Amino acid sequence: MLSKNCVLRKRKEEEGNVLSFGLFLSPVPTFVKIWKRKAVEDFSAIPYLATVLNCMLWVFYGLPVVRPNSILIVTINGVGLVLEAIYLIIFFIYAPNRSRLKVLKILAVELVFMGGVIAGVIAGAHTHEKRIFIVGILCVIFGTCMYASPLSIMRLVIRTKSVQYMPFYLSLAGFLNGVCWTAYAFLEFDIFVVIPNGLGALFGAVQLILYFCYYRSTPQEESKAEVQLPVSSSDAASGGNKEPQR
């Protein structure tokens, strides 16, 4: 039985990593459109800013100073962090000055917060167990916020009865990613993995239901902008460990 569980966990890790990488890449078509149009139009950078902070937290969590032997978490979220940075650079290039200033302010706050977390954890928590718990809790909180950020578009969808601003493939990938890592966590119950990914699956399901409810009433024309949330960076990588993970 133990051997069977190990095989299942390994399989879920592989599936989760593939889905997580797919989530990171899901915004590419939208940013290609932005690049071609030379304008961000109604596109929002908030989901990507949320994912940047989430990735930074998980990279820190996977470092030897917090959780030794967690290279998978560092590599997956490191890749996610690089991709999110590229998306934000593209946004910054084609956004109006007001939006650029907003992005810079939020990034500055995130960097100051991250610096405070790193300094506080290293100086105040002197064992790996304490550091894992503290950083893991933060990862759960901000991972959940990241999963929930696309829900901000739901009000617009309901008001306009149109899903042109709701990215279907991103919602689907988020749902599948949440389901996969939740199933993984239940093989050897880990509350830190269950909470963010279970909520991610729930949020993804809500988005998919809303999409299918308003799909037929959406004008059949190319949308001018899409709000996309790159996911689950840490949530994906975290699956391979038993402590607070993504």
The predicted-structure confidence for 155-201, as pLDDT tens digits, reads as follows 777 777 777 667 677 778 778 878 877 887 777 666 777 888 888 88
- pLDDT of 116 > 90? The answer is yes
- Contact assessment for residue 35 and residue 214, using Cβ atoms and an 8 Å cutoff: no
- For residue 226, report the phi and psi dihedrals to the nearest 5 degrees: -135, 145
pLDDT, position 234: 44
Crossing angle of helices 191-214 and 128-148, in 10° steps, is 10
pLDDT one-digit tens code per residue, 36-49: 888 887 777 887 88
- pLDDT of 229 > 60? The answer is no
pLDDT one-digit tens code per residue, 50-105: 889 988 998 998 899 998 877 777 887 888 899 999 999 999 999 999 889 999 99
pLDDT, position 14: 66
Residue environment code for 43-60, b if the CB has 16+ CB neighbours within 10 A, otherwise e: bbbebbbbbbbbbbbbbb
pLDDT, position 236: 47
Residue percentage of the chain with pLDDT more than 70: 76
Q: Which amino acid is at 103?
A: V
* Structure-derived torsion over alpha carbons of residues 40, 45, 48, 50, reported in degrees to the nearest 10: 180
Q: In which band, very low, low, confident or very high, does the pLDDT at 232 lie, cut at 50, 70 and 90?
A: very low
List C-alpha distances in Å: 197 to 20, 33, 115, 136, 244.
Answer: 12, 30, 26, 14, 11
Q: What is the mean pLDDT of residues 103-108?
A: 94
Residue 41 structure tokens:
């139009």
Alpha carbons 121 and 189: distance in angstroms, whole number? 26
